[in-house]
Amino acid sequence: MSGIDPVPRFALGEAVITSGVAGKLNMVLVKLAIVRHASGDWGELEADDRRLNDERIATGGTLVSIFKTANGDKFYVITEAERDKTTVLPQEEY
C-alpha cells in the first residue's frame, strides 16, 4: 500500500455502497479501498484485467477492483465508464 497516490488517476463520480456492504464491511476499509482504486491500485485483480483497467483510464470503459477483508471476503469497487458513479459491493452482489 505504500504506492497509494493521494491524487486520483480518474474521476470517481458519486460514491455508492450497496446494502450488503453497509451492513457487512467496516467503512474505514471501504474508504481505503476507494482511495486505492482511484490511485490505480486494483487490489486482487488478475494481471490481464489490471492492464485492461490501465488502458481504460486513458481510453474509457468501466474500471473494476477487487479487495479482501481481513477474513478473506471479497468485495468490488466499480467505476462506471462515464465516470459518474463508483459502486462498492460484496462479491455475492457482483
Within 8 A by CB and 6+ apart from 8, the residues are 38, 39
Cα 59 to chain centroid distance, Å, stands at: 18
- Edge-to-edge strand ranges of the sheet holding 74-79: 14-17, 85-90, 74-79, 63-68
Mean pLDDT, rounded, for 5-25: 89
Q: Mind listing the pLDDT tens digit for each residue in 31-66?
A: 999 999 999 999 999 999 999 999 999 999 999 999
| Rounded Cα gap, residues 92 and 94, in angstroms | 6
